Amino acid sequence: MNYDYIIIEGNIGAGKTSLTKMFAEQFNAKLILEQFADNPFLPKFYENPDRYSFPLELSFLADRYNQLKKDLSHRDLFKSFTISDYYFMKSLIFSKSTLQDDEYNLYRQIFDIIYNQLPKPDLYVYLHLTTDNLMKNIKKRGRDYEQNITEDYLRKIQNSYFEYFKQQKDFRILILDTNNVDFVNNKEDYKLIIDAIFDNEYKIGTNRLVLK
């Protein structure tokens, strides 16, 4: 396994945080989790997206940058690698789906100033689920502020990710279709993901794999 820095991402409800925690525990990896639960704008955004999308995205941008700058600045010699359940580019992907054009253009200027100051991952893994399966997972975990999320919103986020993947040529991206597996409750399915990530070589750019 030749990776020092791995990202596990996906749409809302894809299971990225669960998988990241499982990997960190099994492989003694340094764990970086997105701190979103205390964001005061998030519940307001889900109730009134038009009003709160810009302050929400700006607050996420600042929080993500500060956390990653701090956590990635020093290598933990007692950990095998670093794994995170989000990448800084997530700020741009979500803002593209939530902001008006003039707001997004301003936001993009701020983003570009600080993006190049952060290290790139050795492998970026995107967990892909259909919007129907995402909705089921969101309902199952029962967070009150997520219950107003619509399939249309999830579809916009998904499309923004895929547009980003088309443009990305700087590092390895692995799109894992996990619609047919349950890695949280099924050990064999979890092993499939381990094999897919750690036992294969991937080229720079976008790679795709369907797990069955």
Q: Which residue has the tokens 């997206």?
A: 49
Kindly report the backbone phi and psi dihedral angles of residue 69, in degrees, each rounded to the nearest multiple of 5, phi listed first: -60, -40
Q: Which of 50, 63, 76, 85 is catalytic?
A: 85
First-to-last C-alpha distance (Å) of the chain: 23
Contact yes or no for 139/12 (Cβ under 8 A): no
Give the span between the Cα atoms of 140 and 54, in whole angstroms.
Answer: 29
Provide the angle, in degrees to the nearest 10, between the axes of the packed helices 131-141 and 151-167.
120
Return the closest-CA partner of residue 10 out of 190, 101, 133, 99.
133
Whether 189 sits among the annotated catalytic residues: the reply is no
The amino acid sitting at 55 is P
- Please report which residue ranges of the chain form alpha helices under DSSP H: 16-27, 41-47, 49-72, 90-98, 101-115, 131-141, 151-167, 187-198
Residues identified as active-site = 85
